[in-house]
Amino acid sequence: MSVHESAATSVRRVASLASATARPTTERDRERRRIAIMCLPFFVLATVAGFVPLAMLVRISLAEDTVWIEGLSFDAWRTLVTTATYRQVVWNTLWFVGAATLVSVALGVAVSHALEKYDLPFERAVVAAVSFPIALPGIIVAYLIVVLLGRQGLVTNAAAVATGQSAIDLASATAITGLFLGYVYSLVPRATMVLRGTYAEVNAQAEEAARALGANRWQTFYHVTLPEIRPGIVAACILTFRSGLAIFGTVLILQSHRVVTLQIHHETSVGSYNPDVAAAIGLVYVCVIVAFTFVGLRFVETDAVEI
Protein backbone atom coordinates (compact mmCIF):
# COMPACT_ATOMS: atom_id res chain seq x y z
CA MET A 1 0.00 0.00 0.00
CA SER A 2 1.38 3.39 -1.00
CA VAL A 3 1.77 6.30 1.36
CA HIS A 4 -1.12 8.11 -0.33
CA GLU A 5 -3.45 5.13 0.07
CA SER A 6 -2.42 4.67 3.69
CA ALA A 7 -3.14 8.35 4.44
CA ALA A 8 -6.51 8.12 2.69
CA THR A 9 -7.41 5.02 4.72
CA SER A 10 -6.48 6.78 7.97
CA VAL A 11 -8.62 9.78 7.05
CA ARG A 12 -11.60 7.54 6.29
CA ARG A 13 -11.20 5.76 9.64
CA VAL A 14 -11.10 9.04 11.52
CA ALA A 15 -14.16 10.31 9.65
CA SER A 16 -16.03 7.09 10.34
CA LEU A 17 -15.10 7.23 14.03
CA ALA A 18 -16.20 10.86 14.28
CA SER A 19 -19.50 10.07 12.58
CA ALA A 20 -20.17 7.11 14.90
CA THR A 21 -19.34 9.24 17.93
CA ALA A 22 -21.63 12.07 16.82
CA ARG A 23 -24.51 9.73 15.90
CA PRO A 24 -24.10 6.58 18.00
CA THR A 25 -26.06 3.50 17.01
CA THR A 26 -24.51 0.95 19.39
CA GLU A 27 -23.74 0.93 23.11
CA ARG A 28 -20.04 1.03 22.31
CA ASP A 29 -20.54 4.19 20.25
CA ARG A 30 -22.57 5.76 23.06
CA GLU A 31 -19.82 4.97 25.56
CA ARG A 32 -17.28 6.51 23.20
CA ARG A 33 -19.41 9.66 22.94
CA ARG A 34 -19.69 9.95 26.73
CA ILE A 35 -15.91 9.68 27.02
CA ALA A 36 -15.46 12.30 24.30
CA ILE A 37 -17.84 14.70 26.07
CA MET A 38 -16.04 14.25 29.40
CA CYS A 39 -12.65 14.82 27.74
CA LEU A 40 -13.82 17.88 25.81
CA PRO A 41 -13.06 20.44 28.60
CA PHE A 42 -9.55 19.06 28.87
CA PHE A 43 -8.92 19.37 25.14
CA VAL A 44 -10.29 22.91 25.14
CA LEU A 45 -8.02 23.84 28.05
CA ALA A 46 -5.04 22.09 26.43
CA THR A 47 -5.66 23.99 23.21
CA VAL A 48 -6.05 27.41 24.84
CA ALA A 49 -3.37 27.04 27.53
CA GLY A 50 -0.99 24.62 25.83
CA PHE A 51 -0.99 24.23 22.07
CA VAL A 52 -1.70 27.86 21.17
CA PRO A 53 1.09 29.29 23.41
CA LEU A 54 3.51 26.66 22.09
CA ALA A 55 2.64 27.58 18.53
CA MET A 56 3.26 31.23 19.38
CA LEU A 57 6.65 30.33 20.90
CA VAL A 58 7.59 28.55 17.69
CA ARG A 59 6.52 31.54 15.62
CA ILE A 60 8.40 34.05 17.82
CA SER A 61 11.56 31.94 17.85
CA LEU A 62 11.55 31.92 14.02
CA ALA A 63 10.47 35.54 13.49
CA GLU A 64 12.80 37.97 11.81
CA ASP A 65 10.89 40.93 13.23
CA THR A 66 10.19 40.14 16.89
CA VAL A 67 7.98 43.21 17.34
CA TRP A 68 5.42 42.42 14.66
CA ILE A 69 6.34 38.72 14.53
CA GLU A 70 7.00 38.72 10.81
CA GLY A 71 9.50 37.11 8.49
CA LEU A 72 11.57 33.97 8.93
CA SER A 73 14.92 33.74 10.68
CA PHE A 74 16.88 31.00 12.41
CA ASP A 75 19.16 33.42 14.25
CA ALA A 76 17.72 32.60 17.67
CA TRP A 77 18.31 28.86 17.24
CA ARG A 78 21.74 29.50 15.77
CA THR A 79 22.56 31.58 18.83
CA LEU A 80 21.51 28.79 21.19
CA VAL A 81 23.62 26.23 19.35
CA THR A 82 26.76 28.31 18.89
CA THR A 83 26.90 30.26 22.16
CA ALA A 84 28.58 28.42 25.02
CA THR A 85 26.71 30.47 27.63
CA TYR A 86 23.37 28.89 26.80
CA ARG A 87 24.79 25.36 26.84
CA GLN A 88 26.23 26.13 30.27
CA VAL A 89 22.83 27.38 31.47
CA VAL A 90 21.18 24.14 30.34
CA TRP A 91 23.84 22.05 32.07
CA ASN A 92 23.57 24.15 35.25
CA THR A 93 19.81 23.66 35.27
CA LEU A 94 19.87 19.90 34.72
CA TRP A 95 22.47 18.99 37.33
CA PHE A 96 21.20 21.46 39.93
CA VAL A 97 17.53 20.50 39.62
CA GLY A 98 18.49 16.82 39.34
CA ALA A 99 20.46 16.99 42.59
CA ALA A 100 17.63 18.85 44.34
CA THR A 101 15.17 16.23 43.06
CA LEU A 102 17.23 13.31 44.38
CA VAL A 103 17.65 14.90 47.81
CA SER A 104 13.98 15.92 48.00
CA VAL A 105 12.68 12.47 47.02
CA ALA A 106 15.04 10.76 49.46
CA LEU A 107 13.77 13.01 52.25
CA GLY A 108 10.21 12.41 51.05
CA VAL A 109 10.71 8.64 51.32
CA ALA A 110 12.08 9.03 54.86
CA VAL A 111 9.25 11.33 55.97
CA SER A 112 6.54 9.18 54.38
CA HIS A 113 8.00 6.01 55.88
CA ALA A 114 8.07 7.57 59.33
CA LEU A 115 4.50 8.89 59.03
CA GLU A 116 3.06 5.61 57.75
CA LYS A 117 5.05 3.05 59.75
CA TYR A 118 5.34 4.70 63.16
CA ASP A 119 2.86 6.18 65.59
CA LEU A 120 4.44 9.62 65.86
CA PRO A 121 3.39 12.17 68.46
CA PHE A 122 1.78 15.30 67.02
CA GLU A 123 1.48 13.61 63.64
CA ARG A 124 -0.97 16.19 62.31
CA ALA A 125 1.40 18.99 63.23
CA VAL A 126 4.24 17.17 61.44
CA VAL A 127 2.11 16.72 58.32
CA ALA A 128 1.10 20.39 58.40
CA ALA A 129 4.72 21.49 58.81
CA VAL A 130 5.88 19.30 55.92
CA SER A 131 3.05 20.49 53.65
CA PHE A 132 3.35 24.18 54.55
CA PRO A 133 5.98 25.15 51.91
CA ILE A 134 3.57 24.29 49.09
CA ALA A 135 1.50 27.34 50.00
CA LEU A 136 4.49 29.68 49.85
CA PRO A 137 5.46 31.56 46.67
CA GLY A 138 9.07 31.19 45.59
CA ILE A 139 9.88 34.77 46.55
CA ILE A 140 8.73 34.14 50.13
CA VAL A 141 10.89 30.99 50.28
CA ALA A 142 13.86 33.07 49.15
CA TYR A 143 13.28 35.62 51.89
CA LEU A 144 13.01 32.84 54.47
CA ILE A 145 16.43 31.62 53.35
CA VAL A 146 17.77 35.16 53.70
CA VAL A 147 16.27 35.46 57.20
CA LEU A 148 17.97 32.22 58.22
CA LEU A 149 21.25 32.23 56.29
CA GLY A 150 21.80 35.88 55.34
CA ARG A 151 24.36 38.17 56.96
CA GLN A 152 21.82 39.05 59.64
CA GLY A 153 20.23 35.60 59.59
CA LEU A 154 19.38 33.64 62.70
CA VAL A 155 21.41 30.56 61.79
CA THR A 156 24.32 32.65 60.51
CA ASN A 157 24.61 34.68 63.71
CA ALA A 158 24.21 31.61 65.92
CA ALA A 159 27.03 29.90 64.00
CA ALA A 160 29.15 33.07 64.24
CA VAL A 161 28.73 33.14 68.03
CA ALA A 162 29.51 29.44 68.33
CA THR A 163 32.60 29.48 66.09
CA GLY A 164 33.89 33.00 66.61
CA GLN A 165 33.93 33.67 62.88
CA SER A 166 32.45 36.65 61.07
CA ALA A 167 28.78 36.48 60.14
CA ILE A 168 29.70 37.97 56.77
CA ASP A 169 31.99 35.02 56.05
CA LEU A 170 29.40 32.47 57.20
CA ALA A 171 26.43 33.92 55.31
CA SER A 172 25.31 31.52 52.56
CA ALA A 173 21.84 32.76 51.58
CA THR A 174 23.04 34.15 48.26
CA ALA A 175 25.50 31.31 47.68
CA ILE A 176 24.60 28.15 45.82
CA THR A 177 24.06 26.43 49.19
CA GLY A 178 21.23 28.78 50.10
CA LEU A 179 19.59 28.39 46.70
CA PHE A 180 19.84 24.60 46.93
CA LEU A 181 18.17 24.62 50.35
CA GLY A 182 15.42 26.84 48.96
CA TYR A 183 14.78 24.35 46.15
CA VAL A 184 14.72 21.37 48.51
CA TYR A 185 12.45 23.20 50.95
CA SER A 186 9.94 23.77 48.13
CA LEU A 187 10.20 20.28 46.60
CA VAL A 188 10.12 17.98 49.67
CA PRO A 189 6.35 18.51 50.30
CA ARG A 190 5.54 17.58 46.70
CA ALA A 191 7.53 14.37 46.92
CA THR A 192 6.03 13.54 50.31
CA MET A 193 2.43 13.95 49.12
CA VAL A 194 2.96 11.51 46.25
CA LEU A 195 4.83 8.98 48.38
CA ARG A 196 2.29 8.97 51.21
CA GLY A 197 -0.36 7.80 48.78
CA THR A 198 1.98 5.07 47.57
CA TYR A 199 2.77 3.92 51.09
CA ALA A 200 -0.94 3.44 51.75
CA GLU A 201 -0.92 0.64 49.14
CA VAL A 202 2.09 -1.25 50.55
CA ASN A 203 1.41 -4.90 51.45
CA ALA A 204 1.84 -4.84 55.23
CA GLN A 205 1.43 -8.63 55.46
CA ALA A 206 4.44 -9.16 53.21
CA GLU A 207 6.51 -6.90 55.47
CA GLU A 208 5.39 -8.79 58.56
CA ALA A 209 6.20 -12.11 56.88
CA ALA A 210 9.69 -10.89 56.02
CA ARG A 211 10.29 -9.80 59.63
CA ALA A 212 8.99 -13.15 60.89
CA LEU A 213 11.50 -14.94 58.63
CA GLY A 214 14.38 -13.07 60.23
CA ALA A 215 14.83 -10.01 58.01
CA ASN A 216 15.84 -6.83 59.80
CA ARG A 217 14.21 -3.45 59.14
CA TRP A 218 16.66 -2.46 56.39
CA GLN A 219 16.36 -5.82 54.61
CA THR A 220 12.56 -5.65 54.82
CA PHE A 221 12.56 -2.15 53.38
CA TYR A 222 14.99 -2.99 50.56
CA HIS A 223 13.47 -6.33 49.47
CA VAL A 224 9.76 -5.79 50.24
CA THR A 225 8.83 -2.14 50.70
CA LEU A 226 11.07 -0.53 48.11
CA PRO A 227 9.82 -2.57 45.11
CA GLU A 228 6.24 -1.65 46.02
CA ILE A 229 6.87 2.07 46.42
CA ARG A 230 9.02 2.32 43.28
CA PRO A 231 6.12 3.71 41.16
CA GLY A 232 5.61 6.40 43.79
CA ILE A 233 9.32 7.23 43.79
CA VAL A 234 9.31 7.57 40.00
CA ALA A 235 6.17 9.72 40.11
CA ALA A 236 7.71 11.88 42.86
CA CYS A 237 10.88 12.30 40.78
CA ILE A 238 8.84 13.37 37.76
CA LEU A 239 6.77 15.85 39.77
CA THR A 240 9.68 17.35 41.72
CA PHE A 241 11.97 17.58 38.68
CA ARG A 242 9.30 19.36 36.65
CA SER A 243 8.49 21.64 39.58
CA GLY A 244 12.19 22.37 40.09
CA LEU A 245 12.60 23.39 36.47
CA ALA A 246 9.74 25.88 36.88
CA ILE A 247 11.00 27.57 40.07
CA PHE A 248 11.52 31.26 39.37
CA GLY A 249 10.82 33.44 42.42
CA THR A 250 13.46 31.78 44.59
CA VAL A 251 16.20 31.92 41.99
CA LEU A 252 15.27 35.51 41.08
CA ILE A 253 16.05 36.67 44.63
CA LEU A 254 18.96 34.31 45.35
CA GLN A 255 20.79 34.81 42.06
CA SER A 256 23.74 32.55 42.83
CA HIS A 257 23.20 30.05 40.02
CA ARG A 258 22.02 30.79 36.49
CA VAL A 259 19.27 28.40 35.42
CA VAL A 260 16.79 28.36 32.54
CA THR A 261 14.01 30.35 34.21
CA LEU A 262 16.45 33.09 35.23
CA GLN A 263 17.94 33.13 31.73
CA ILE A 264 14.51 33.55 30.14
CA HIS A 265 13.88 36.47 32.50
CA HIS A 266 17.21 37.96 31.44
CA GLU A 267 16.38 37.61 27.73
CA THR A 268 13.06 39.45 28.17
CA SER A 269 14.46 42.25 30.36
CA VAL A 270 14.63 45.80 29.09
CA GLY A 271 18.42 45.88 28.96
CA SER A 272 18.75 42.83 26.71
CA TYR A 273 15.44 42.26 24.96
CA ASN A 274 15.67 39.05 22.90
CA PRO A 275 12.18 37.50 22.81
CA ASP A 276 13.14 35.14 19.97
CA VAL A 277 15.96 33.64 22.03
CA ALA A 278 13.68 33.46 25.08
CA ALA A 279 11.06 31.63 23.00
CA ALA A 280 13.66 29.18 21.71
CA ILE A 281 14.87 28.50 25.25
CA GLY A 282 11.27 27.95 26.33
CA LEU A 283 10.72 25.39 23.57
CA VAL A 284 13.86 23.48 24.56
CA TYR A 285 12.67 23.64 28.15
CA VAL A 286 9.28 22.13 27.20
CA CYS A 287 10.93 19.37 25.16
CA VAL A 288 13.17 18.41 28.09
CA ILE A 289 10.18 18.21 30.46
CA VAL A 290 8.11 16.10 28.04
CA ALA A 291 11.00 13.76 27.28
CA PHE A 292 11.81 13.30 30.97
CA THR A 293 8.15 12.59 31.75
CA PHE A 294 7.82 9.90 29.08
CA VAL A 295 11.09 8.25 30.08
CA GLY A 296 10.05 8.26 33.73
CA LEU A 297 6.63 6.76 33.01
CA ARG A 298 8.35 3.65 31.62
CA PHE A 299 9.48 2.82 35.17
CA VAL A 300 6.13 3.30 36.89
CA GLU A 301 5.11 -0.37 36.77
CA THR A 302 4.87 -1.75 40.27
CA ASP A 303 6.62 -4.84 41.58
CA ALA A 304 3.87 -5.86 44.00
CA VAL A 305 4.82 -8.41 46.61
CA GLU A 306 2.28 -11.13 47.17
CA ILE A 307 2.12 -13.67 49.97
Residue 48 belongs to a domain: no
Residue 28 belongs to a domain: no
Residue 220 belongs to a domain: yes
Q: Quote the number of domains for the chain.
A: 1
pLDDT tens digits, residue range 34-86?
Answer: 888 888 888 888 888 888 989 999 999 999 888 888 889 999 999 999 999 99
Residue 32 belongs to a domain: no
Residue 51 belongs to a domain: no
Supply the pLDDT for residue 306.
47
Instruction: Determine the Cα angle at 210 with ends 205 and 213, to 5°.
Output: 125
Residue 58 belongs to a domain: no
Q: What stretches in the chain show pLDDT beneath 50?
A: 304-307
Supply the pLDDT for residue 212.
84
Supply the pLDDT for residue 301.
59
Residue 13 belongs to a domain: no
pLDDT tens digits, residue range 5-22?
Answer: 666 676 677 677 777 667
Residue 3 belongs to a domain: no
The CATH number of residue 127's host domain is 1.10.3720.10
- Answer whether 108's CB lies under 8 Å from 236's CB: yes
Supply the pLDDT for residue 271.
76
Supply the pLDDT for residue 305.
45
pTM of this prediction? 0.83
* Segments forming the whole domain that contains residue 134: 77-297
- Answer whether 198's CB lies under 8 Å from 230's CB: no
